[in-house]
Amino acid sequence: TRHAFYQFLADRSLGEAQQAAKDAGMPIGLISDLAVGVDSGGSQCWARPDQTLLGLNVGAPPDLLNTRGQSWGLAAFSPRGLQLHGFGVFIEMLRAAMRHAGGVRIDHAMGLARLWVIPDGYSAADGVYLHFPVDDMLRLIRLESQRHKAVVLGEDLGTLPEGFQQRISSGGMLGMRVLWFERAQDQGFTAPSAWDYGAVSMTSTHDLATVAGWWSGRDTEWRREIGLIDAAGVARENDERRRDRHLLWSAMQASGAAHGEPPSPIDPAEAVNAAIRHVGAAGCALTIIPVEDALGLREQPNLPGTLNEHPNWRRRMPGPAATLLDDPAVAARLKDLDAVRKR
């Protein structure tokens, strides 16, 4: 009973927060988040074991971001179980996520098509892809989006199935266009005016380096400190980062977001300002700036593939929430973003 009451309070509070956002003039208000999986010991798994993949962990195969692969210790829906039960638990989840929000972000959206699953006790490299009824799931997402008048964002980053971005875009789901990944074939950065409208532009995500962290090389330092990269890899990444800073600054100059010489890695504040203006000028339907970039912080909130090696989701913001955005430098960044979006 106590836990049910807590859930009631949380639901009511979320509804009040969304109403306050709408009353303040926010057309979308809150955007909720759908995780890629759940704890295998949680209520969803023991209440619906025939609709959950017990004994398998969700993760990601080895890639350039993490050469060891990733295992997140989460259980996901069973594709066969979803079909046998009319996708009932999936529909319930969508409705709960959209009930008090103007939008929903689907974490690891390619999981709608396939998931990298790893048997308990095995490494991430030992996983396999398990395919899902993607067309049915996308149809249900579109239906609930219309019913709740909610926008849908899909995290389409990582190793994607062929044609996946086009598939979700054709159905009205907004993909994510992250500054670091918008590169041309010649390794230069793509002009933001060329980023596609059916997506959300952003400087970074919670799983990636902040602008200040990337510019200063803090992300490389972290990976070295916890053994994800050796000395040779550090030297190689530092060389690449020096080149990429030059390429990014040139791209931001071309878009009108940056002026003069590039700032030093020791003092990345102007790089943060320019990156926010640059991303804000993108030809995308929406722009999202992580609070860490609005504040100009170096440390990223999460480092995928780690548990205790990095303080994931444990960092405190540098000040009370009520006055967090009042700093003149922060207010100036947000004012610049507002101005460039209006243009």
The pLDDT tens digits for 83-104 are: 999 999 999 999 999 999 999 9
The number of beta carbons lying within 10 Å of the beta carbon of residue 248 is 25
Question: Does residue 303 lie in a domain region?
Answer: yes
- 118, 142, 173 - which closes a domain: 173
Range of the domain at 35: 29-173
In a domain? residue 12? no
Number of domains in the chain: 2
Residue 304's Cβ-count burial label (10 Å; 0-12, 13-18, 19+) is middle
**Is residue 65 pLDDT above 90, yes or no?**
no
| Residue that is last in its domain, among 137, 155, 173 | 173
Q: What is the pLDDT, as a whole number, of residue 21?
A: 95
Do 161 and 192 sit in the same domain of this protein? no
Residue 16 pLDDT > 80, yes or no? Answer: yes
Question: 322 and 216 in one domain?
Answer: yes
Q: What tens digit of pLDDT does each residue of 224-253 get? A: 999 888 999 999 999 999 999 999 999 999
Tell me, yes or no, whether 112 lies in a domain. yes
Per-residue CA distances from 132 to 4, 81, 110, 190 (Å):
32, 11, 10, 33
Q: CA-to-CA distance for 339 and 199, rounded, in angstroms?
A: 20
Judge whether residue 300 has pLDDT over 80: yes
Same domain, 61 and 117: yes
Q: What is the pLDDT of residue 58?
A: 95
pLDDT of residue 182: 94
Check whether residue 98 and residue 135 sit in a common domain.
yes
Q: 184 with 279, same domain? A: yes
With respect to residue 124, please indicate whether it lies within any of the assigned structural domains: yes
Same domain as 197, residue 157: no
Residue 149 lies in a domain: yes
> Of 173, 191, 217, which one is at a domain's C-terminal end?
173
pTM over 0.85: yes
pLDDT at 140: 97
Residues 42 and 141 grouped into a single domain? yes
Asked whether residue 154 is domain-assigned, the answer is yes
> Of 145, 269, 283, nearest to 211 (Cα)?
269
User: Does 93 share its domain with 183?
Assistant: no
Residues 157, 204, single domain; the answer is no
- Asked whether the beta carbons of 296 and 272 are under 8 A apart, the reply is yes
Mean pLDDT of 64-75: 85
Instruction: pLDDT band for 184, please (50, 70, 90 cuts).
Output: confident
Residue 18 falls inside a structural domain:
no
